Structure 1
């Protein structure tokens, strides 16, 4: 499968050791249920980032557990109102690299992660 941005990636991006990912991960979103805006990369959202971080800016950020998502949310003021939402990521969504509970996922083309939100988590989070 082709990556989201085709061949428009820096050298060695994604890293050669990035691999298919399977599992439930937490994405910090603006709302619950999330919208397509919650699944934009830094590049798609036209956010600023250092040029050396272009590879990471073309990936989506997830956390392997809710505790790590909340820890990051509380550390950065711009994330304080975000809501952790569980997404079931499977190998045909892209390739990823997980380090210390943080996942960078470089998506394949045509993937809509909104279709992979864990519904029972959403209902529980809204109570």
Structure 2
């Protein structure tokens, strides 16, 4: 398995991360049109994160329920107010992931184009 992110810290992804299909998943996107920027991790987007969260910051964040995503929007109103919540899927070919409390972190494999995988017809 070759990951998109080349400089993963030790123990990242976690040893209990799995590789399997998950549908539906939900992701906040920038506007009505799905774009490449919508599938960049925190480091790629230059979003600050705590050093102890480096592994999570190198993953792409999804929710396994719409309610969990809306709870986050409510908690961080300013940041997520204008974002669009989109329903999609991830497949085992995307990478490996770990889910905790309806939040899924996906460590993406190299050469995966989420613009082709995520949208649900």
Query: What stretches of structure 1 move > 4 A for 4+ residues in a row?
Result: none
TM-score, normalised via structure 1 length:
0.88
* Residue number in structure 1 paired with 2:94: 93
* Residue number in structure 2 paired with 1:38: 38
* Residue number in structure 2 paired with 1:118: 120
The separation in 2 between residues aligned to 1:114 and 1:40, in whole angstroms, is 11
- In the TM superposition, what is the alpha-carbon distance from 1:82 to its structure 2 partner? 1.2
The separation in 2 between residues aligned to 1:83 and 1:69, in whole angstroms, is 11
Distance 1:110 1:102, change over 3 A: same
Distance 1:17 1:47, change over 3 A: same
TM-score, normalised via structure 2 length:
0.92
Secondary structure of residue in 2 paired with 1:19: coil
How do 1:52-71 residues align onto structure 2 when only pairs under 5 Å count? 52-71=52-71
- Structure 1 alignment gaps of length 5 or more: 120-127
CA RMSD of superposed structures (Å): 1.1
* Residue number in structure 2 paired with 1:18: 17
* Residue number in structure 1 paired with 2:74: 74
- How many residues align? The count is 118
**Contact kept in structure 2, 1:87 and 1:113, CA below 8 Å:** no
The separation in 1 between residues aligned to 2:67 and 2:47, in whole angstroms, is 26
